[in-house]
Structure 1
Amino acid sequence: MGFELLSVADIDSRIEAIEDVAEVLTAVREWSKERGIVRQSYHFTPVFDGPTSDRTIIYAEGFPDEWLALYRDTELRTIDPIPTYTFKMARLTYWREALAACADFEGTSRYAEAMQAHGLVHGFGLPLYGPHSRNAYASCDFDRPMDLEGDGMLLLDVRLIHQIAHQRLCVLLDREQKAPTLSERETEVLQWIVRGKSTVDIGAILSISPETVRTYTQRIYTKLDTADRVGATVKALKLRLVEP
Protein backbone atom coordinates (compact mmCIF):
# COMPACT_ATOMS: atom_id res chain seq x y z
CA MET A 1 0.00 0.00 0.00
CA GLY A 2 1.31 3.46 -0.94
CA PHE A 3 1.10 6.69 1.00
CA GLU A 4 -0.81 8.82 -1.49
CA LEU A 5 -4.15 8.63 0.33
CA LEU A 6 -2.84 8.83 3.89
CA SER A 7 -2.92 11.93 6.07
CA VAL A 8 0.13 12.97 8.07
CA ALA A 9 -1.57 11.60 11.20
CA ASP A 10 -2.08 8.24 9.50
CA ILE A 11 1.53 8.16 8.34
CA ASP A 12 2.65 9.04 11.88
CA SER A 13 0.76 6.00 13.20
CA ARG A 14 2.16 3.80 10.46
CA ILE A 15 5.77 4.83 11.13
CA GLU A 16 5.26 4.39 14.88
CA ALA A 17 4.32 0.76 14.21
CA ILE A 18 7.53 -0.03 12.31
CA GLU A 19 10.05 -2.11 14.24
CA ASP A 20 13.01 -2.04 11.85
CA VAL A 21 15.40 0.84 11.12
CA ALA A 22 15.66 0.11 7.39
CA GLU A 23 11.86 -0.07 7.06
CA VAL A 24 11.52 3.43 8.48
CA LEU A 25 13.92 4.78 5.85
CA THR A 26 12.09 2.85 3.14
CA ALA A 27 8.72 4.25 4.26
CA VAL A 28 10.02 7.83 4.09
CA ARG A 29 11.54 7.18 0.68
CA GLU A 30 8.23 5.82 -0.68
CA TRP A 31 6.27 8.75 0.73
CA SER A 32 8.79 11.21 -0.70
CA LYS A 33 8.71 9.72 -4.18
CA GLU A 34 4.92 9.85 -4.24
CA ARG A 35 5.10 13.55 -3.36
CA GLY A 36 7.56 14.27 -6.20
CA ILE A 37 10.88 14.35 -4.36
CA VAL A 38 13.49 13.10 -6.82
CA ARG A 39 16.43 12.90 -4.43
CA GLN A 40 16.91 12.96 -0.70
CA SER A 41 19.49 12.16 1.95
CA TYR A 42 19.50 11.45 5.66
CA HIS A 43 22.59 12.23 7.73
CA PHE A 44 22.60 10.56 11.15
CA THR A 45 25.20 12.29 13.30
CA PRO A 46 26.80 10.64 16.35
CA VAL A 47 26.06 12.47 19.59
CA PHE A 48 28.11 15.66 19.99
CA ASP A 49 29.54 15.45 16.45
CA GLY A 50 28.84 18.04 13.77
CA PRO A 51 26.55 17.26 10.80
CA THR A 52 29.52 17.07 8.40
CA SER A 53 31.63 14.82 10.65
CA ASP A 54 33.38 11.91 8.98
CA ARG A 55 31.50 9.71 11.47
CA THR A 56 28.11 10.81 10.15
CA ILE A 57 26.17 7.99 8.51
CA ILE A 58 24.64 9.09 5.20
CA TYR A 59 21.73 7.40 3.45
CA ALA A 60 21.15 8.89 0.00
CA GLU A 61 18.64 8.20 -2.76
CA GLY A 62 18.45 9.70 -6.26
CA PHE A 63 21.73 11.63 -6.29
CA PRO A 64 24.16 11.14 -9.19
CA ASP A 65 26.71 8.40 -8.50
CA GLU A 66 29.52 10.82 -9.31
CA TRP A 67 28.26 13.23 -6.67
CA LEU A 68 27.99 10.51 -4.03
CA ALA A 69 31.56 9.44 -4.76
CA LEU A 70 32.71 13.03 -4.33
CA TYR A 71 30.75 13.52 -1.11
CA ARG A 72 32.30 10.44 0.43
CA ASP A 73 35.55 12.37 0.23
CA THR A 74 35.92 13.77 3.74
CA GLU A 75 37.57 16.92 2.40
CA LEU A 76 34.55 17.87 0.31
CA ARG A 77 32.10 16.98 3.05
CA THR A 78 33.85 19.17 5.60
CA ILE A 79 33.45 22.28 3.44
CA ASP A 80 29.72 21.67 2.96
CA PRO A 81 28.20 24.69 4.75
CA ILE A 82 24.55 23.74 4.27
CA PRO A 83 23.94 21.33 7.20
CA THR A 84 25.62 23.59 9.76
CA TYR A 85 23.80 26.67 8.48
CA THR A 86 20.51 24.77 8.48
CA PHE A 87 20.93 23.90 12.16
CA LYS A 88 21.89 27.49 12.89
CA MET A 89 18.63 28.68 11.33
CA ALA A 90 16.66 25.79 12.95
CA ARG A 91 14.22 25.61 10.04
CA LEU A 92 13.84 24.42 6.47
CA THR A 93 16.67 26.09 4.57
CA TYR A 94 17.11 26.21 0.80
CA TRP A 95 20.52 25.17 -0.51
CA ARG A 96 20.85 28.42 -2.44
CA GLU A 97 20.11 30.44 0.70
CA ALA A 98 22.74 28.62 2.75
CA LEU A 99 25.38 28.93 0.03
CA ALA A 100 24.71 32.65 -0.33
CA ALA A 101 24.83 33.24 3.43
CA CYS A 102 28.12 31.31 3.70
CA ALA A 103 29.68 32.69 0.51
CA ASP A 104 32.63 34.17 2.40
CA PHE A 105 33.49 30.90 4.14
CA GLU A 106 36.55 29.05 2.96
CA GLY A 107 35.58 26.30 0.51
CA THR A 108 31.99 27.43 -0.08
CA SER A 109 32.60 28.58 -3.65
CA ARG A 110 34.26 25.28 -4.48
CA TYR A 111 31.38 23.36 -2.94
CA ALA A 112 28.77 25.47 -4.75
CA GLU A 113 30.52 24.87 -8.08
CA ALA A 114 30.53 21.12 -7.47
CA MET A 115 26.81 21.15 -6.69
CA GLN A 116 26.04 23.19 -9.79
CA ALA A 117 28.09 20.85 -11.97
CA HIS A 118 25.98 17.90 -10.79
CA GLY A 119 22.62 19.62 -11.20
CA LEU A 120 21.99 20.13 -7.47
CA VAL A 121 20.25 23.49 -7.40
CA HIS A 122 16.72 23.56 -5.99
CA GLY A 123 16.91 21.43 -2.86
CA PHE A 124 16.65 22.28 0.81
CA GLY A 125 17.90 21.06 4.15
CA LEU A 126 15.95 20.05 7.26
CA PRO A 127 17.21 20.05 10.85
CA LEU A 128 15.89 16.99 12.71
CA TYR A 129 15.92 16.75 16.49
CA GLY A 130 15.91 13.63 18.63
CA PRO A 131 16.25 12.58 22.28
CA HIS A 132 19.64 12.65 24.01
CA SER A 133 21.04 15.07 21.40
CA ARG A 134 20.64 12.51 18.60
CA ASN A 135 20.10 15.07 15.90
CA ALA A 136 20.19 14.50 12.17
CA TYR A 137 20.12 16.43 8.92
CA ALA A 138 18.01 15.63 5.89
CA SER A 139 18.01 17.09 2.42
CA CYS A 140 15.28 16.93 -0.22
CA ASP A 141 15.09 18.04 -3.81
CA PHE A 142 11.99 18.26 -6.01
CA ASP A 143 14.28 19.30 -8.89
CA ARG A 144 12.30 22.49 -9.30
CA PRO A 145 12.11 25.85 -7.53
CA MET A 146 10.07 25.72 -4.33
CA ASP A 147 8.62 28.53 -2.26
CA LEU A 148 6.54 28.79 0.89
CA GLU A 149 3.75 30.70 -0.84
CA GLY A 150 2.99 28.06 -3.45
CA ASP A 151 4.32 24.93 -1.77
CA GLY A 152 3.84 25.76 1.90
CA MET A 153 1.62 22.83 2.88
CA LEU A 154 3.71 20.32 0.95
CA LEU A 155 6.92 21.58 2.56
CA LEU A 156 5.29 21.43 5.99
CA ASP A 157 4.33 17.79 5.38
CA VAL A 158 7.88 17.01 4.27
CA ARG A 159 9.32 18.46 7.45
CA LEU A 160 6.79 16.71 9.69
CA ILE A 161 7.30 13.30 8.10
CA HIS A 162 11.09 13.49 8.31
CA GLN A 163 10.95 14.62 11.95
CA ILE A 164 8.53 11.81 12.82
CA ALA A 165 10.75 9.26 11.09
CA HIS A 166 13.90 10.50 12.80
CA GLN A 167 12.33 10.24 16.24
CA ARG A 168 11.19 6.70 15.45
CA LEU A 169 14.72 5.77 14.39
CA CYS A 170 16.04 7.09 17.70
CA VAL A 171 13.51 4.98 19.62
CA LEU A 172 14.43 1.84 17.69
CA LEU A 173 18.14 2.41 18.24
CA ASP A 174 17.58 2.96 21.96
CA ARG A 175 16.03 -0.49 22.23
CA GLU A 176 19.36 -2.11 21.49
CA GLN A 177 20.49 -3.23 24.93
CA LYS A 178 23.34 -5.62 24.21
CA ALA A 179 25.86 -5.74 21.40
CA PRO A 180 26.12 -9.10 19.60
CA THR A 181 29.41 -10.94 19.46
CA LEU A 182 31.08 -10.80 16.05
CA SER A 183 33.99 -12.89 14.86
CA GLU A 184 37.22 -11.17 13.87
CA ARG A 185 36.40 -11.57 10.17
CA GLU A 186 32.80 -10.37 10.62
CA THR A 187 34.15 -7.30 12.38
CA GLU A 188 36.54 -6.63 9.50
CA VAL A 189 33.74 -6.93 6.94
CA LEU A 190 31.47 -4.71 9.02
CA GLN A 191 34.20 -2.10 9.33
CA TRP A 192 34.43 -1.80 5.54
CA ILE A 193 30.64 -1.79 5.18
CA VAL A 194 30.55 1.19 7.53
CA ARG A 195 33.15 2.91 5.34
CA GLY A 196 30.94 2.48 2.30
CA LYS A 197 32.94 -0.15 0.44
CA SER A 198 31.16 -2.45 -2.00
CA THR A 199 31.12 -6.23 -1.74
CA VAL A 200 33.73 -6.51 -4.50
CA ASP A 201 35.93 -3.88 -2.85
CA ILE A 202 35.76 -5.62 0.53
CA GLY A 203 36.69 -8.92 -1.08
CA ALA A 204 39.75 -7.36 -2.70
CA ILE A 205 40.82 -5.63 0.52
CA LEU A 206 40.49 -8.80 2.62
CA SER A 207 41.66 -11.18 -0.14
CA ILE A 208 38.46 -13.21 -0.09
CA SER A 209 35.83 -13.82 -2.76
CA PRO A 210 32.75 -11.59 -3.13
CA GLU A 211 30.60 -14.63 -2.36
CA THR A 212 32.43 -15.10 0.94
CA VAL A 213 31.88 -11.41 1.71
CA ARG A 214 28.16 -11.90 1.06
CA THR A 215 28.12 -14.84 3.47
CA TYR A 216 29.73 -12.76 6.21
CA THR A 217 27.40 -9.88 5.43
CA GLN A 218 24.32 -12.05 5.89
CA ARG A 219 25.69 -13.30 9.22
CA ILE A 220 26.21 -9.70 10.29
CA TYR A 221 22.64 -8.76 9.29
CA THR A 222 21.32 -11.69 11.31
CA LYS A 223 23.32 -10.80 14.41
CA LEU A 224 22.38 -7.12 14.19
CA ASP A 225 18.74 -7.96 13.39
CA THR A 226 18.70 -5.74 10.34
CA ALA A 227 18.07 -6.22 6.64
CA ASP A 228 20.56 -4.03 4.79
CA ARG A 229 23.73 -1.95 4.90
CA VAL A 230 22.01 1.17 6.18
CA GLY A 231 20.57 -0.55 9.23
CA ALA A 232 23.80 -2.47 9.86
CA THR A 233 25.88 0.70 9.68
CA VAL A 234 23.68 2.70 12.02
CA LYS A 235 23.50 -0.11 14.57
CA ALA A 236 27.23 -0.84 14.34
CA LEU A 237 28.11 2.72 15.27
CA LYS A 238 25.38 2.97 17.88
CA LEU A 239 26.68 -0.21 19.56
CA ARG A 240 30.33 0.78 18.99
CA LEU A 241 31.08 -2.49 17.25
CA VAL A 242 33.55 -0.75 14.93
CA GLU A 243 35.58 2.41 14.94
CA PRO A 244 34.27 5.10 12.58
Structure 2
Amino acid sequence: MQGYFGKIEALIDVGEVLWYAVGVCEELGVVRQSYHFTPLFDSPTSERTVVHAHGFDPAWLKYYDESDFRKSDPIPERVMAFGAMLTWEEAKKIAPNSSENEVFFDAMRKNGLIHGFGVPLFGPRSRNAYASFDFGFPIERVPERKLGIVRSVSQAAHQRVCVLLESTRDRVELSQREEEVLTWIVRGKSLSVIGDILDLSPDTVKTYAKRIYAKLGSTDRVGAVVKALKLGLVTA
Protein backbone atom coordinates (compact mmCIF):
# COMPACT_ATOMS: atom_id res chain seq x y z
CA MET A 1 0.00 0.00 0.00
CA GLN A 2 2.85 2.39 0.84
CA GLY A 3 4.15 1.97 -2.70
CA TYR A 4 0.92 3.36 -4.11
CA PHE A 5 0.97 6.31 -1.72
CA GLY A 6 4.62 7.08 -2.44
CA LYS A 7 3.98 7.16 -6.18
CA ILE A 8 0.98 9.46 -5.78
CA GLU A 9 2.93 11.85 -3.55
CA ALA A 10 5.70 12.06 -6.16
CA LEU A 11 3.36 13.17 -8.96
CA ILE A 12 3.17 16.91 -9.62
CA ASP A 13 0.46 17.07 -12.30
CA VAL A 14 -3.25 16.70 -11.56
CA GLY A 15 -3.90 14.72 -14.72
CA GLU A 16 -1.07 12.30 -13.96
CA VAL A 17 -2.47 11.71 -10.46
CA LEU A 18 -5.92 10.88 -11.81
CA TRP A 19 -4.65 8.57 -14.55
CA TYR A 20 -2.36 6.78 -12.10
CA ALA A 21 -5.34 6.08 -9.82
CA VAL A 22 -7.35 4.86 -12.83
CA GLY A 23 -4.54 2.47 -13.77
CA VAL A 24 -4.26 1.01 -10.27
CA CYS A 25 -8.01 0.39 -10.10
CA GLU A 26 -8.02 -1.22 -13.54
CA GLU A 27 -5.24 -3.60 -12.49
CA LEU A 28 -7.40 -4.62 -9.53
CA GLY A 29 -10.34 -5.46 -11.82
CA VAL A 30 -12.43 -2.28 -11.87
CA VAL A 31 -14.18 -2.10 -15.26
CA ARG A 32 -15.55 1.43 -14.96
CA GLN A 33 -14.92 4.33 -12.63
CA SER A 34 -15.60 8.04 -12.25
CA TYR A 35 -14.28 10.96 -10.20
CA HIS A 36 -16.46 14.02 -9.67
CA PHE A 37 -14.41 17.08 -8.75
CA THR A 38 -16.97 19.57 -7.45
CA PRO A 39 -16.51 23.33 -7.01
CA LEU A 40 -17.00 24.43 -3.40
CA PHE A 41 -20.63 24.71 -2.27
CA ASP A 42 -21.85 23.05 -5.45
CA SER A 43 -23.48 19.70 -6.24
CA PRO A 44 -21.49 16.67 -7.47
CA THR A 45 -23.95 16.47 -10.38
CA SER A 46 -23.98 20.15 -11.38
CA GLU A 47 -22.84 21.16 -14.86
CA ARG A 48 -19.78 22.84 -13.28
CA THR A 49 -18.58 19.56 -11.77
CA VAL A 50 -15.68 17.99 -13.66
CA VAL A 51 -16.37 14.28 -14.20
CA HIS A 52 -13.30 12.16 -15.01
CA ALA A 53 -14.89 8.92 -16.23
CA HIS A 54 -13.23 5.80 -17.59
CA GLY A 55 -14.70 2.52 -18.85
CA PHE A 56 -18.24 3.77 -19.38
CA ASP A 57 -19.98 3.39 -22.73
CA PRO A 58 -19.53 6.59 -24.81
CA ALA A 59 -23.29 6.79 -25.35
CA TRP A 60 -23.86 6.85 -21.59
CA LEU A 61 -21.24 9.56 -21.10
CA LYS A 62 -22.93 11.64 -23.79
CA TYR A 63 -26.23 11.39 -21.92
CA TYR A 64 -24.53 12.19 -18.61
CA ASP A 65 -22.98 15.33 -20.06
CA GLU A 66 -26.47 16.74 -20.54
CA SER A 67 -27.10 18.91 -17.48
CA ASP A 68 -30.77 17.96 -16.97
CA PHE A 69 -30.01 14.23 -17.17
CA ARG A 70 -27.02 14.53 -14.84
CA LYS A 71 -29.03 16.49 -12.29
CA SER A 72 -31.56 13.63 -12.10
CA ASP A 73 -28.83 11.38 -10.65
CA PRO A 74 -29.28 11.42 -6.84
CA ILE A 75 -26.61 8.84 -6.04
CA PRO A 76 -23.54 11.13 -5.63
CA GLU A 77 -25.31 13.53 -3.26
CA ARG A 78 -26.75 10.67 -1.22
CA VAL A 79 -23.34 9.04 -0.86
CA MET A 80 -21.77 12.36 0.19
CA ALA A 81 -24.54 13.01 2.70
CA PHE A 82 -24.22 9.47 4.08
CA GLY A 83 -20.47 9.99 4.48
CA ALA A 84 -19.46 6.43 3.70
CA MET A 85 -19.48 3.90 0.87
CA LEU A 86 -22.83 2.88 -0.56
CA THR A 87 -23.62 0.54 -3.42
CA TRP A 88 -25.68 2.12 -6.17
CA GLU A 89 -28.61 -0.07 -5.16
CA GLU A 90 -28.35 1.04 -1.53
CA ALA A 91 -28.18 4.69 -2.59
CA LYS A 92 -31.34 4.29 -4.68
CA LYS A 93 -33.29 3.11 -1.64
CA ILE A 94 -31.90 5.44 1.03
CA ALA A 95 -34.36 8.26 0.24
CA PRO A 96 -37.62 8.83 -1.65
CA ASN A 97 -37.20 9.04 -5.41
CA SER A 98 -38.75 11.50 -7.83
CA SER A 99 -40.06 10.52 -11.25
CA GLU A 100 -36.86 12.00 -12.73
CA ASN A 101 -34.79 9.78 -10.43
CA GLU A 102 -36.72 6.71 -11.57
CA VAL A 103 -36.11 7.58 -15.21
CA PHE A 104 -32.40 7.89 -14.44
CA PHE A 105 -32.34 4.52 -12.65
CA ASP A 106 -34.10 2.88 -15.59
CA ALA A 107 -31.45 4.29 -17.93
CA MET A 108 -28.76 2.90 -15.63
CA ARG A 109 -30.26 -0.58 -15.80
CA LYS A 110 -30.57 -0.46 -19.58
CA ASN A 111 -26.88 0.49 -19.79
CA GLY A 112 -25.77 -2.33 -17.48
CA LEU A 113 -24.91 -0.03 -14.57
CA ILE A 114 -26.05 -2.29 -11.76
CA HIS A 115 -23.29 -3.47 -9.43
CA GLY A 116 -21.26 -0.32 -8.77
CA PHE A 117 -20.71 1.63 -5.59
CA GLY A 118 -20.02 5.22 -4.60
CA VAL A 119 -17.35 6.53 -2.23
CA PRO A 120 -17.06 9.97 -0.59
CA LEU A 121 -13.57 11.48 -0.80
CA PHE A 122 -12.54 14.06 1.77
CA GLY A 123 -10.00 16.83 1.27
CA PRO A 124 -8.68 19.95 3.05
CA ARG A 125 -10.80 23.11 3.29
CA SER A 126 -13.97 21.07 2.64
CA ARG A 127 -12.71 20.23 -0.85
CA ASN A 128 -14.60 16.94 -1.03
CA ALA A 129 -15.38 14.79 -4.07
CA TYR A 130 -17.34 11.73 -5.13
CA ALA A 131 -16.00 8.63 -6.85
CA SER A 132 -17.73 5.56 -8.23
CA PHE A 133 -16.40 2.12 -9.13
CA ASP A 134 -17.81 -0.99 -10.75
CA PHE A 135 -16.17 -4.43 -10.91
CA GLY A 136 -18.95 -5.69 -13.16
CA PHE A 137 -20.34 -8.04 -10.50
CA PRO A 138 -21.80 -7.71 -6.97
CA ILE A 139 -19.52 -6.08 -4.43
CA GLU A 140 -19.92 -9.10 -2.14
CA ARG A 141 -17.70 -11.03 -4.56
CA VAL A 142 -14.90 -8.46 -4.42
CA PRO A 143 -12.05 -9.46 -2.04
CA GLU A 144 -11.80 -7.09 0.91
CA ARG A 145 -8.15 -6.37 0.14
CA LYS A 146 -8.92 -5.20 -3.40
CA LEU A 147 -11.82 -3.09 -2.19
CA GLY A 148 -9.62 -1.52 0.46
CA ILE A 149 -6.89 -0.62 -2.02
CA VAL A 150 -9.37 0.95 -4.46
CA ARG A 151 -10.85 3.11 -1.71
CA SER A 152 -7.47 4.06 -0.20
CA VAL A 153 -5.85 4.91 -3.53
CA SER A 154 -8.82 7.03 -4.63
CA GLN A 155 -8.73 8.93 -1.32
CA ALA A 156 -4.98 9.48 -1.57
CA ALA A 157 -5.28 10.63 -5.18
CA HIS A 158 -8.00 13.14 -4.28
CA GLN A 159 -5.95 14.56 -1.43
CA ARG A 160 -2.96 14.89 -3.76
CA VAL A 161 -5.12 16.75 -6.29
CA CYS A 162 -6.21 19.14 -3.53
CA VAL A 163 -2.62 19.75 -2.42
CA LEU A 164 -1.48 20.45 -5.97
CA LEU A 165 -4.30 22.91 -6.50
CA GLU A 166 -3.69 24.69 -3.20
CA SER A 167 -0.02 25.13 -4.07
CA THR A 168 -0.93 26.96 -7.28
CA ARG A 169 -1.76 30.58 -6.59
CA ASP A 170 -0.12 32.27 -9.56
CA ARG A 171 -2.34 34.44 -11.71
CA VAL A 172 -2.88 32.90 -15.12
CA GLU A 173 -3.45 35.37 -17.93
CA LEU A 174 -5.48 34.16 -20.90
CA SER A 175 -6.38 35.96 -24.08
CA GLN A 176 -10.05 36.48 -24.91
CA ARG A 177 -9.94 33.66 -27.48
CA GLU A 178 -8.19 31.34 -25.02
CA GLU A 179 -10.91 32.08 -22.47
CA GLU A 180 -13.56 31.19 -25.06
CA VAL A 181 -11.84 27.92 -25.94
CA LEU A 182 -11.31 27.07 -22.25
CA THR A 183 -14.98 27.72 -21.48
CA TRP A 184 -16.06 25.14 -24.06
CA ILE A 185 -13.39 22.68 -22.91
CA VAL A 186 -14.79 22.94 -19.38
CA ARG A 187 -18.26 22.25 -20.77
CA GLY A 188 -16.98 18.97 -22.15
CA LYS A 189 -16.94 19.83 -25.85
CA SER A 190 -14.42 18.12 -28.12
CA LEU A 191 -11.84 20.24 -29.92
CA SER A 192 -13.55 19.60 -33.26
CA VAL A 193 -16.90 20.75 -31.87
CA ILE A 194 -15.26 23.83 -30.33
CA GLY A 195 -13.87 24.63 -33.78
CA ASP A 196 -17.37 24.51 -35.25
CA ILE A 197 -18.78 26.69 -32.46
CA LEU A 198 -16.06 29.34 -32.72
CA ASP A 199 -15.60 29.02 -36.50
CA LEU A 200 -11.97 27.99 -36.14
CA SER A 201 -10.00 25.27 -37.89
CA PRO A 202 -9.20 22.09 -35.90
CA ASP A 203 -5.49 22.90 -35.97
CA THR A 204 -6.12 26.39 -34.61
CA VAL A 205 -8.20 25.01 -31.73
CA LYS A 206 -5.47 22.47 -30.96
CA THR A 207 -2.93 25.30 -30.83
CA TYR A 208 -5.09 27.28 -28.41
CA ALA A 209 -5.63 24.15 -26.27
CA LYS A 210 -1.88 23.53 -26.05
CA ARG A 211 -1.30 27.13 -24.98
CA ILE A 212 -4.00 26.86 -22.34
CA TYR A 213 -2.60 23.59 -20.97
CA ALA A 214 0.88 25.12 -20.83
CA LYS A 215 -0.32 28.23 -18.99
CA LEU A 216 -2.20 26.07 -16.49
CA GLY A 217 0.81 23.81 -16.01
CA SER A 218 -1.09 20.70 -17.00
CA THR A 219 -0.40 17.94 -19.49
CA ASP A 220 -3.99 16.94 -20.16
CA ARG A 221 -7.56 18.18 -20.44
CA VAL A 222 -8.82 17.01 -17.06
CA GLY A 223 -5.97 18.58 -15.12
CA ALA A 224 -6.45 21.85 -16.98
CA VAL A 225 -10.18 21.93 -16.30
CA VAL A 226 -9.80 21.18 -12.59
CA LYS A 227 -7.14 23.87 -12.24
CA ALA A 228 -9.20 26.41 -14.23
CA LEU A 229 -12.14 25.93 -11.88
CA LYS A 230 -9.89 26.23 -8.82
CA LEU A 231 -8.43 29.50 -10.10
CA GLY A 232 -11.83 30.88 -11.01
CA LEU A 233 -10.93 31.31 -14.68
CA VAL A 234 -14.32 29.92 -15.73
CA THR A 235 -17.64 29.60 -14.01
CA ALA A 236 -19.45 26.96 -16.05
Tell me which interval the TM-score lies in, with the shorter structure as reference length. over 0.9
Which residue matches 1:235? 227
Q: How far does residue 106 in structure 1 lie from its aligned partner after superposition?
A: 4.0
Which residue matches 1:19? 12
Q: Please tell me whether residue 160 in structure 1 is matched to residue 152 in structure 2.
A: yes
Q: Give 5+ residue unaligned stretches, structure 2.
A: none
Q: How far does residue 150 in structure 1 lie from its aligned partner after superposition?
A: 5.5
Count of aligned pairs: 236
Q: How far does residue 105 in structure 1 lie from its aligned partner after superposition?
A: 3.3
Which residue matches 1:5? none
Which residue matches 1:190? 182
1-structure distance, mates of 2:153, 2:170:
30
2-structure distance, mates of 1:56, 1:187:
18
Q: Please tell me whether residue 35 in structure 1 is matched to residue 28 in structure 2.
A: yes
1-structure distance, mates of 2:95, 2:113:
17
2-structure distance, mates of 1:107, 1:202:
30
In structure 2, the residue corresponding to 1:107 is in which secondary structure? Answer: helix
2-structure distance, mates of 1:193, 1:171:
23
One-letter amino acid of the structure 2 residue matched with residue 209 of structure 1: S
Q: Please tell me whether residue 61 in structure 1 is matched to residue 54 in structure 2.
A: yes
Q: How far does residue 108 in structure 1 lie from its aligned partner after superposition?
A: 1.9
- TM-score, L = length of structure 2: 0.96
In structure 2, the residue corresponding to 1:80 is in which secondary structure? Answer: coil
Percent identical residues:
49
1-structure distance, mates of 2:142, 2:48:
37
In structure 2, the residue corresponding to 1:43 is in which secondary structure? Answer: strand
Which residue matches 1:72? 65
1:99-138 paired onto structure 2 within 5 Å: 99-138=92-131
CA contact under 8 A between 1:95 and 1:124: conserved in structure 2?
yes
Q: Please tell me whether residue 144 in structure 1 is matched to residue 137 in structure 2.
A: yes
1-structure distance, mates of 2:126, 2:54:
25
2-structure distance, mates of 1:51, 1:215:
31
Q: Please tell me whether residue 44 in structure 1 is matched to residue 37 in structure 2.
A: yes
CA contact under 8 A between 2:37 and 2:51: conserved in structure 1?
yes
Q: Give 5+ residue unaligned stretches, structure 1.
A: 1-7
Of 82, 85, 106 in structure 1, the residue corresponding to residue 75 of structure 2 is: 82
Which residue matches 2:162? 170
In structure 1, the residue corresponding to 2:36 is in which secondary structure? Answer: strand
Which structure would you say has the larger RCO, counting Cα contacts within 8 Å and 6 or more residues apart? 2
1-structure distance, mates of 2:81, 2:110:
26
